[in-house]
Amino acid sequence: MKIVYISNPSFFDMDLSLTKELFQQTDLYFFIDLPPYSRKSTALDFKTVLNKAGIYPATDFDELKEFTDYIDLNRTLVIYRTSEKTYSASNLLLQYTLARAIQKINPNVIHCNNFLNFNFTYFLYTNRIPKILTVHDPIPHSGESSKKHTAISQLNYKFFNNIILLNTSQTEAYLINFGKTISNLFFSRLGSYSYFQIYNQSKYIKKRNQILFFGRISPYKGIEELCRAFRLVATEFTDAKLIIAGSGEYDFNINPFLVSPNYVFLNRYIPNAELVQLIQESQFVVCPYKDATQSGVIMTSFALDQPVVATNVGGLKEMIIHNQTGLLIEPNNIPQLANSIKWMFQNPDVIEKMRENIKFLNINGNISWNKIVKGLVSIYSRLN
């Protein structure tokens, strides 16, 4: 089965593990959309500068060569944009070029990983090949909804008759909000982001009573609540350390926490190797989200056998097995969050058992990409 898979750097950490299996189980062509504002995102840090927009083979980019164990560079192409303006001459020409390139491949199915921007309007309008869209956030995160996001989603829903959701918990809300039907709705899930293991060549030593929050800084992530809860933790565990790593603008005043040795703020892009070290040196990861769909942070942690303490929101309960791969707690409950962190510190044997459970699930459980891709191939076959 011949598949065209289109994604962008924001999801490259997921794509690497997914496409590795897709390349093995299908005749896959992987397109990476690369606008100027996404050159540094998740697993990618593009430094190659080209003067002309176009569709280039992955072999032209040294940044992709380190991932040859995960992507076939001979069947991976980069949609290289030189303009941020949607309807610039170069982007209009790229729409036509992309449509022609995919027509030449003549795939059975086009799978798009997340909403396509207005840059793809011509491609969507002219292409009649069966298409399916993965919707990562069926309900926008709190504080992140906008008129532009709504317009982009409406554009995609006009052209995509088939939708994949990555959790079942938000199905009803999605169907109500967007008028979709079960007949064109399919389900998959995230697997562990196994490619992070290529950076795990050194044996990092766990640091006593250190925990980690990582990822994009955003109001829905519950970082302020985590900082306040950690104050309660530090009164009992005076050597405890909370590391908050990721770029973005805080929606609260972090200055009172900056003066304490119990907090470390790394407000910047975190390269893959550094992120792996931070995860491996911590006892566990914390995701105190106020709302969520699913979480790449959890799947990154699981790839390194690291348990996660998370709030029971959105689809997170489908990712974490309570007391086996982490803990699930109520959102916005600062005392419960603090007590959960302290309980984990007090029970290192439980943390170690959780790591063993995660390691087993990575190979044999429902977070194995081999099993996930077999499910996707079954979905693709139903679209023809």
pLDDT beyond 80 at 338: yes
Q: How confident is the model at residue 21 (pLDDT cuts 50, 70, 90)?
A: very high
Q: Coil, helix or strand for 217?
A: coil
Q: Coil, helix or strand for 372?
A: helix
- Contact between residue 165 and residue 190 where contact means Cβ atoms under 8 Å apart: no
Q: Are strands 263-266 and 185-187 parallel, antiparallel or unpaired?
A: unpaired
Tokens of 352: 């170690």
Q: How far is the CA of 293 from the CAs of 38, 128, 212, 290, in angstroms? A: 22, 30, 20, 11
pLDDT digits (tens, 9 = 90+) for 302-322: 999 999 999 999 889 999 999
Domain ranges of the chain: 2-191+368-383, 198-364
Closest CA to 62 of 51, 75, 78: 78
- Contact between residue 245 and residue 275 where contact means Cβ atoms under 8 Å apart: yes
Tokens of 196: 């992070």
- Contact between residue 293 and residue 136 where contact means Cβ atoms under 8 Å apart: yes
In whole angstroms, give the CA distance from residue 293 to residue 141. Answer: 8
Cβ count near 283 (within 10 Å): 20
Query: How much is the pLDDT for 125?
Result: 85
Q: What is the dihedral of CA 344, 348, 353, 357, to 10 degrees?
A: 50
Candidate CATH numbers 3.40.190.10, 3.40.50.2000, 3.40.120.10, 3.90.550.10; the one for domain 198-364:
3.40.50.2000
Query: How much is the pLDDT for 179?
Result: 67
pLDDT digits (tens, 9 = 90+) for 203-212: 889 999 999 9
pLDDT digits (tens, 9 = 90+) for 255-283: 999 999 999 999 999 988 999 999 999 99
Query: How much is the pLDDT for 268?
Result: 94
CATH placement of domain 2-191+368-383 = 3.40.50.2000
pTM for this model (two decimals): 0.88
pLDDT beyond 90 at 111: yes
User: How many Cα atoms sit within 13 Å of 1 on the Cβ side?
Assistant: 23
Is the C-alpha dihedral spanning 109, 23, 195, 358 positive or negative?
Answer: positive
Q: How far is the CA of 147 from the CAs of 114, 140, 150, 154, in angstroms? A: 17, 12, 5, 11
Query: Are domains 2-191+368-383 and 198-364 of this chain identical in fold?
Result: yes
- Contact between residue 66 and residue 72 where contact means Cβ atoms under 8 Å apart: no
